[in-house]
Structure 1
Amino acid sequence: MATLKHIASKNSDYSAAETYLIYQHDEFSGKKILDEQGRPKLRESYLLDTLECGDFSFATACLLANRKYGKNTQHGDIKSHQYIISFDPRDAADNGLTMEKAQALGLKFCEENFPGHPAIVCTHPDGHNHSGNIHVHIVIGSIRMREVERKPYMQKPRDWCEGMKHSSTAQTMRHLRVEVMEMCEGAGLYQIDLLNGSKVRVSEREYWMKQRGQLKLDHENAALLATGQQPTQTKFETAKEVLRRQISEVLNVATSFEDFSDRLLQQYGITVKESRGRLSYLPAGRTKFIRARSIGDKFEKELVLAALKANTERKRTIQSKSDRIGKLIDIQAKLKQGKGIGYERWAKKHNLKAMAQTLILLQENGLLNEDALDQRITELDTKFHDSLAVVKDLEGRMKANKELRYHVAAYASTKSVAQQLKAAKRPAAFEEQHRAELTAHRAAAAYFKANDITKLPSPKKLEAEYAQLASEKAQFYEQYKEAKNELLKLKTAKQNVASFFREEEPAQQER
């Protein structure tokens, strides 16, 4: 579930960025942490590389760019941009993500999306919250030092021309979020839909409020432990965290909006109000409502109603399910292959455990009837193949969109050269001099002709269409994975039941 964060900096001291990345800093004051000799302490672990800096440091490369192009001379000018890609903490254990792999992904991401900018790429193994989330810092100088090939997502000259400043617009962030989603999928990492908001939205202010509150609580608990007393609370929660937790607990069990409102009021004293199609919540002790969009998208009206509908269809609370169902082992066949008595004892225990897991799974899903189990497997199989077909279709449309954007960009950037060829006094010499541009122009024209495109589409519309396709793909990809996992569990359960009764029949005949 990689996330993307952007920070623009007006600090003219470019070395400060590298200093922050390699030395330990106090997370509240931002000051460097010193050792006993008063020297800055290096971070325990990090990986750092530079790009587009030549033989110079990042700071020197940025200063040379400022001097060469006469920019970033004012105090209010944005001197650098920092993009932080934070990976899901589970990726390390579940998907084999290492610092080296994250650094390689960060370098590739920087090369593809910020070409021509001096850059630092640095990977850290953990964040402020100590959750174990590997994350990559990409810091770029604001000025592009060379002209680069125009790519489909580039809309204005500042995106590819030498001496122009990088601008992190809404369109740029949308493109980068799509790239992060595609990067995670390609690397087999956890991902979320970065284009349609966040289920839980934590502001910068709330984040640091939580950090300060946790630090204060830790000091208070340490004082209690020193006197032999046990702390009553070890984890600090902000008021919004408490509100999210309480709403989520009710949302997991409620089956209608009336039920949802009544439970919130009865259990936690929270009042729900709808105004102009949006929900607001009033916790006990407050006089002002808190808007749903300020605490997370999952608390908005549309997603709340969707969750309630899902609860109604299931007619039960959401319960945790076993991640794996072990397959029953044919012990007699293994013994004939030469396995010993020790293996037989282990296999019997394994089969008992696997059968217990099978029965729990079938009971939780209400599938103890063979016909119901077969029907559910058929439904999941259909959902699995339908979702996969949609994902493949969306991938094909994204590929076609990308190809079209490439040719539109190439055609627009080489159109003037093609017009100059018509007026050239020496066409052969002009064509030889501009062979690459003319080849790209003709290839684009041939592509449009082959696909019956008479009017060039707007690059902005193509970019928006690509983002929408990526969002839909992420949604159906999650459905595909969920259906696949549940389908495998139920097929294994069905196989275990069949194997169990096949073993029981000979035993009954012997008795």
Structure 2
Amino acid sequence: MLPFFDYIFIKSYREEIRESIDICMEQKPKDMEELIKLLQEMDYEIKRGKYVSLKGRDQKNFLRMRSLGAGYREEDLEKVFSGESAFTPDPKQQRNDENVYVKPEPNVDMLLDIQAMIAKGKGPGYERWAKVHNIKQMAQTLLFLEEHGLRDYDELAEKAKATSERFGEITEKQKALEARLVEIAALKKHIINYSKTKDVYAEYRKSGYSKKFFEEHREAITLCKAAKEAFSKIEGKLPKIKELNQEYSEVLQEKKRTYAEYRQAKQEMKDIQMAKYNVDLFLKFEEQKEQAEKQKTTEQIR
């Protein structure tokens, strides 16, 4: 197992692309077209559309340049080519220098922000945090967010809400299907019981509802009454056993299919909620750390 702070900085595809752009920019391309040609020479596949997307040799999916973070988005690079700004390599690659990191713009790239805070904040404070919290879990969280392209906190929060709602909807659907299976099974039982006891009940009625006859045939009469009561609640024609068997089979298949969705939705919700919990936990620690530093500075001024 790699040490935590090394583990979380394992190169992601976005990091590799940023490093490749750094190399290309050293060759002073005059515009975006030249930069793209240089990237193609490095075996990147380019997809053009509303946004430019790249895919490296080992990547499964294309990544948009706009997701690479401040300084590497198309609009940022265009400013470099037009002379409006200078190109600055990704500060995270220089993380050994404590003074290099500059916090990204709000909502630009949550992962880069967190990773840079960790790189900048190594020391007793983070050691205390690591002792209290599961550092392996935090590393897994960062990799999970990277793999799922969740690099913005608001997007993470929205995803957590959406997965929770989806799980709730599928859970309710599962309950409805289960309830229908119970209803069908109960109705089938009533139909069978009625067919077996209707003659006894007819004799009971002919007897003028004799108490003696009832006591002698209590079970059959009780079953028949229960069946008749159940039938009275059904709107329309009473279904046949064959029809109920068919519906039961269909509902059961739907329940099995939905259960697969249920398990998937449950796992997705669990993963996202855990990721959000870990991010919230870390950011809360970082906020407390900053507040403590501000308070210390204020006290020193006094």
Higher relative contact order (CA 8 A, sep 6+): 2
TM-score (norm 1): 0.30
**Structure number with bigger Rg:** 2
TM-score (norm 2): 0.48
- Structure with the higher fraction of residues in helix conformation: 2
